Structure 1
Amino acid sequence: MKIIETKIPAVKLIEPKVFGDERGFFMETWNEKAFRDAGIDATFVQDNHSRSVKNTLRGLHYQIKQPQGKLVRVTRGEVFDVAVDLRTNSPTFGHWVGEYLSEENNRMLWVPPGFAHGFLVTSETADFHYKCTDFYAPEHERAIHWNDPNLSINWGTSNPEKLLLSDKDKYAPSLDQAVVELKKFQSEI
């Protein structure tokens, strides 16, 4: 596999080796030793799969306790995937990385614990798979508004009014509002 550095060093873009012929293809999507050797030392406890239609935007989600690292990939369609650094002591706090993940490019993104995560479906439908380093804890889940001007994420859409959002995402607070709770939680550890 090939590890590609992003503008936030903790977030990694991964291109697995794909072996294909007239029958189809094979690729390894997780190998603990290979990933550890590449600097991603993670134990996964939960796998998730979502299917979404075009213009669905999910995120930006994170957990204040039991933060989840995520290894994400798309097996059908295409998404624009975003990770936002929420580590308040990080020099890249509040910065974001965005990458296109698709069934065509087979790329994966490593989103470490301490990051908010979200994606926008750019194809007619998309199947999105992700491995998590901690269990989903709805009582600790939070969201930051997808269009927060403090983040200035370029989602690549010229029609934001056509986006399909859950109420949780539509009415999520800004990063400024989230920082108070993040600092409180991080001071408790």
Structure 2
Amino acid sequence: MKKEVLVFISENFADWESAYICAELNKPETRFIMKTLAVKKNPIKSMGGFTVIPDYSIAEIPTHFHMLILVGGTSWMKRENDDLKQVVDLCVEKGIPVAAICDASTFLADKGYLDDIEHTGNSLPYLEEYAPGYKGSDRFIEKQVVSKEGVITANGTSAVEFAREILKYLQVMQENELEEWYHMFKVGFYK
């Protein structure tokens, strides 16, 4: 049986930030299947104009899932996703890894999840301005993506790096395959 990986989506979510990782994890030969999670089960429109009907609402989250992926979008700054805190708390309690990119990392910072572990985000000044509850500035690392203690954080310009780090964490590919995959999507065929 395949292990579910949940991708949290919200109105005007940044669809490209999860595109690479979802496509790879959802392949038939992996041991994973992607499912979408939202605050409510209403249809959600992405920044790119795709309408998605979530598989789960927060109220009906499955009892077992393998990872939670949070993608950016404009709803984070409007505080429309604050109910997600209960799901992240569940992940912390059960040791389920959480991966967040762009303003989803800002959400984790604001809610205190990044105070005591190394992490990244859009930038340190950005987190300090837009995450009023953030107290982890001494743990901020200026990198595209940081993985520490089951928490993967990335800035909004690193969709490929974000996917690579999740693939590495979940051991989906051998290291040489993963580097070839990364090179293909970061550089392409031609220089």
TM-score, shorter chain, exceeding 0.5: no
TM-score (norm 2): 0.30
More strand by proportion, 1 or 2? Answer: 1
More helix by proportion, 1 or 2? Answer: 2
TM-score (norm 1): 0.30
Using CA pairs below 8 Å that are at least 6 residues apart, which structure has the higher relative contact order?
Answer: 1
